[in-house]
Structure 1
Amino acid sequence: MTTTAADVLVPVDEERHRAAAAEFLPRMTVLIGAEEHEHGSDGEFEHVNAATGRVQARVPLAGADEVDRAVEAARAASAVWRGWRPDERRNVLLRLAGLIRRQTESIAQVLTLECGSPITGSRAMPGRAADYLEYYAGLADKLEGRVVPIFPEKAFDYTLPEPYGVIGVISTWNGGISSVARKAGAALAAGNTVVVKPMELAPFSSLIFGRLALEAGFPEGVVNIVPGAVAAGEALVAHPGVDKLSFTGGIDAARAILVGAARNITPVVLELGGKSGNLVFPDADLDAAGLFAGGVCMRNSGQGCVMPTRLLVHEDVHDEVLERAVRAIGAMPLGDPLDPRTQIGPVVSRPHAERILRLIREADEEEAGRRILGGGRVGDKGLRDGHFVEPTVFDGVDPRSAIARTEVFGPVLTVTAFRDEAEAVALANDTPYGLAGYVHTRDLQRAHRVAASLDAGYVSVNGFAALPAAAPFGGFRDSGYGKEGGREGIAEFLRSKNVYVPIG
């Protein structure tokens, strides 16, 4: 069994992190309308740098009182924002996108400090946020109804697309400003106002979004930011002044949200987790498939809902693909997320690291598979104080085991062999989730056939492409329902009204 999970370790430079926090982390407040409040009714959260294990900021936690005032501000602003001409909404969204693009580097530093994402990945996130804002700005003045044919009746019947009103946005920690822009951009373009509740683990980039929205010229109260924990989330979900909710997170939280939203019959968009199968067939480019299997799974320490965490590989090429995957993982520098060399950073928090390690231990105890890489903390000098978990690989994994069916949300890859296409598809679909699927083959017919057979909202063939803003994203079953991105994403925040007018 291999115990070293990376050939290159990058020690954490604590002084660099302290200096970056002092320069880039915003002073945390609760943003309601244009007013910033330094204290929250749910107390205060000590934000810990994932790489150093040290407290780097204190975050005021909004409670029911702040949520109530934020919803009130959003409702007051709703009539104003809805009354803006569509081209005016378009232009202010474009200004917000431009402000974010101009601050790419400082926002990237914030994203790395708030959750430990390697800086190279963080530098792509502000651009992604701006992409969504620009895309939805382009749709803001193109929201059209239709004429309903009722000939020969002497009447005129038509539809109007209208905003819901106030949208409650509950974002998770790994999406940062990109996730907020994808949700809020669509809601704002449709004419809604928003109350955004970022998780206490990663609140900084969301507050930057709110401040830049005011700078761009959004009316006060259109964008409100209420960082908080459970109390804020429960208050937002149950608030009668919220007309729709958009949530990204885990299945347990989603179930609680659905229960809370049921009282007011508040509709909900859910973007949840995944346990995505990565199917490699014998005719695939094995070098590319192996690099993909190892490299993509470990990005951001495996903390992504669409990661290909289950490698399902044909038995004839199992050994070759696995060897390449392990080699790819070992070649990924692990360590300081502010160092541009680093490809694998820490996980977001100590409790999250402990959960990942517990799932690994349980898989060992249950003999769910043979662990061939990693499995513990990274205890080397310069890394031991952070939340670093070794990239871990299990081979010969029983598809019925917990490690094969639980979303670990960490640097853990499971490997299972299959005999033929039918078994591959059956294994891929044998999960409660339905977010993503990956297919590696040179056979175009097989690619289309398998893609159609996978019970997943997103399927990628021979690679991993970042979805453009125009593409819809969202899963099935325990991966949630509703879509983000594309025209489908803005449709989530519009409701259709029918108007009937007799004319004779």
Structure 2
Amino acid sequence: MTSTVQSLAATDNVPTGLFIGGDWVTGSSGGTLEHIFPGTGSPNATIEIAGEAEVDRAVESAWEAHREWISYTPEHRRDLLLNVADALRDDAERLGRLNTHDFGVPTMMSAAHAGLAEKFFRYYAGYVDKANGSSTPVADKFDVNLIEHEPYGVVGIIAPWNGPLVVVGLNVAPALAAGNAVILKPSEISPFTPLRFGELCVQAGLPVGLVNVLPSGPEGGEALVRHPGVKKIHFTGGGSTAQKIITAAAHNLTPVATELGGKSAALIFDDANLDVAAVTMSFQGPVGQSGQSCACSSRIFVQNTVYDAFMERFIGAVESAKIGDPFDPSTIVGPVVSQAATNRILGVIDRAVDEKAGELVTGGKRLGGDLASGYYLEPTVFSRVDNKSALAQIETFGPVVSVIPFADEAEAIALANDSVYGLNAFIQTQNVGRAHRVARKLEAGSVWVNRHSDLGPQSPYGGYKQSGAGRAGGIEGLHEFQQVKTIRIGMDF
């Protein structure tokens, strides 16, 4: 189903400057960029792009704010982070619309991104006055041995275009709770929600400069990573960019944490509830966010004995998802992010057809008619795909999934683990023993049983293998932004 795009991005007031030291900065050294709304393919704003000069200014502002921040009592810092959570809640509707302007995510999902950020801020606010160090005994001594967790000072957080508000929750919240100041570098493709978030931080009472927001491209990103005043980098995005960041960070031996891509496997066993599995995997696969998610379940493995029955339900769920205006509350599938992404994804589909990687059973085309000016692609499913093919092994980052049969549990695990990625895995089964057994054998940072991925602040999230090194969520996410110090006090005096 499709709907006409009726909402034009130009109807909303979107922030376009850089946010540094609590001020809106224009005339930046990085110049400007015309932002394109994916729903129409038309420009909706001209935004400022940060360059090296703005990075210098933001680092200076951040260090000053950091010193003020750590001078506050833990209780005061906790309360201010709760103020930010309240601000995210109260501004959720506007943030949701800005999120849709950013990269075309339907409003049915964009509001949830704001809610996720709020949850993470509430969770990490609670750690500020509770995340203590420890004291351990020292052999044959009566010394006092203390292990302290201290902030880095100023950290750089590089957000992807497909979830800037999610990164605000997963990474900015623990960085602030740990005592750091943050320079948030959103992609130039999706700058609006991060900029609004920076403004909300000041309104909530955080010291000006504690959160600076610098939309930029590769040049601004490299300036941030190479800056000697930035003491840690957290990057969410693709593997090739991560390699460049790690190389640049080596200049100052700056530590880097990463959350990277995925080619997540979903295992559908013959005892699964096929109706639930089909709907869950359609959303987790080509439908939700048009497959533009690191958590996308793009390899779906189905036991031979229920393969045809699952496929009938799965194709029905995929084809019934409404495609259209991302501002329409009933829209489930919005556009992909850009013309370049459209061309790339169509190239993946054409290559898979040419190489006979599998059978194209639905989708595969760009939508025309009322949606022709936007970047809309049909959710696409290939059946009986070769797991060694490029289609099954290379991250597509679009609404394209492979469905692959398997014979038994051992083969399912082997196929699922045959990937350089290891971010998420999914299991559909009603056998509790199998769920535990298989989950422990899957090489993935998160395993979701009988559900879609649902990030929560209590659980660490991150990847195995080439899906990254580092965790967001839980105490592990807080420790990602802290360095450990040992203090031993001799008592022989």
What's the CA shift for 1:293?
2.2
Number of the residue aligned with 1:494: 482
Number of the residue aligned with 1:4: none
Of the three residues 168, 181, 190, the one matched with 2:156 is 168
Q: In the alignment, is the contact (CA less than 8 A) between 1:131 and 1:469 conserved in 2? A: yes
What's the CA shift for 1:295?
2.8
Residues 109-150 of structure 1 deviation map (CA, whole Å, 9 limit, x = unaligned):
111111100111111111111101111000011121111202
* AA aligned opposite 1:10: S
* AA aligned opposite 2:305: D
| Residue 275, structure 1, aligned to residue 266, structure 2 | no
Number of the residue aligned with 2:303: 314
Structure 2 CA distance for aligned equivalents of residues 294 and 466 of structure 1: 15
| Residue 359, structure 1, aligned to residue 348, structure 2 | yes
Number of the residue aligned with 1:438: 426
Residues 15-47 of structure 1 deviation map (CA, whole Å, 9 limit, x = unaligned):
x324xx433422x11111122112221111110
Of the three residues 374, 383, 391, the one matched with 2:379 is 391
How many positions carry a matched residue from both structures? 491
What's the CA shift for 1:181?
2.7
* AA aligned opposite 1:334: I
Q: In the alignment, is the contact (CA less than 8 A) between 1:168 and 1:237 conserved in 2? A: yes
Number of the residue aligned with 2:315: 326
* AA aligned opposite 1:341: S
| Residue 149, structure 1, aligned to residue 137, structure 2 | yes
What's the CA shift for 1:176?
2.2
Q: In the alignment, is the contact (CA less than 8 A) between 2:101 and 2:192 conserved in 1? A: no
Q: In the alignment, is the contact (CA less than 8 A) between 1:440 and 1:461 conserved in 2? A: yes
Q: In the alignment, is the contact (CA less than 8 A) between 1:44 and 1:58 conserved in 2? A: yes
Residues 276-296 of structure 1 deviation map (CA, whole Å, 9 limit, x = unaligned):
011011111111112222232
What does 1:24-423 align with in structure 2 at a 5 Å threshold?
24-26=13-15, 28-150=16-138, 152-297=140-285, 298-379=287-368, 381-423=369-411
Structure 2 CA distance for aligned equivalents of residues 289 and 177 of structure 1: 28
SS of the residue corresponding to residue 371 of structure 2 reads: coil
* AA aligned opposite 1:134: R
Residues 375-428 of structure 1 deviation map (CA, whole Å, 9 limit, x = unaligned):
11011x210000001111111111111010111111101011011111100110
* AA aligned opposite 1:82: I
Structure 2 CA distance for aligned equivalents of residues 296 and 44 of structure 1: 35
SS of the residue corresponding to residue 454 of structure 2 reads: coil
Number of the residue aligned with 1:448: 436
Residues 454-477 of structure 1 deviation map (CA, whole Å, 9 limit, x = unaligned):
000000111115122111100011
What's the CA shift for 1:263?
1.4
- In structure 1, list runs of 5 or more residues that go unmatched: 1-7
SS of the residue corresponding to residue 9 of structure 1 reads: coil
SS of the residue corresponding to residue 127 of structure 2 reads: helix
Structure 2 CA distance for aligned equivalents of residues 23 and 307 of structure 1: 30
What's the CA shift for 1:83?
1.6
Q: In the alignment, is the contact (CA less than 8 A) between 1:17 and 1:113 conserved in 2? A: no
* AA aligned opposite 2:360: R
Structure 2 CA distance for aligned equivalents of residues 285 and 75 of structure 1: 54
What's the CA shift for 1:210?
0.6
What's the CA shift for 1:76?
2.1
Residues 167-196 of structure 1 deviation map (CA, whole Å, 9 limit, x = unaligned):
001001111222123211100001000111
Q: Structure 2 length normalisation: TM-score? A: 0.98
SS of the residue corresponding to residue 358 of structure 1 reads: helix
Q: In the alignment, is the contact (CA less than 8 A) between 2:284 and 2:453 conserved in 1? A: no
Structure 2 CA distance for aligned equivalents of residues 80 and 288 of structure 1: 51
- The 1:293/1:465 distance shift into structure 2, 3 A limit, reads closer
* AA aligned opposite 2:324: G
Structure 2 CA distance for aligned equivalents of residues 340 and 220 of structure 1: 36
- In structure 2, list runs of 5 or more residues that go unmatched: none
Range moving further from structure 2, 145-154 or 79-88: 145-154
Q: In the alignment, is the contact (CA less than 8 A) between 1:24 and 1:109 conserved in 2? A: no
Structure 2 CA distance for aligned equivalents of residues 361 and 203 of structure 1: 32
Range moving further from structure 2, 175-184 or 225-234: 175-184
Q: Structure 1 length normalisation: TM-score? A: 0.96
| Residue 17, structure 1, aligned to residue 8, structure 2 | yes
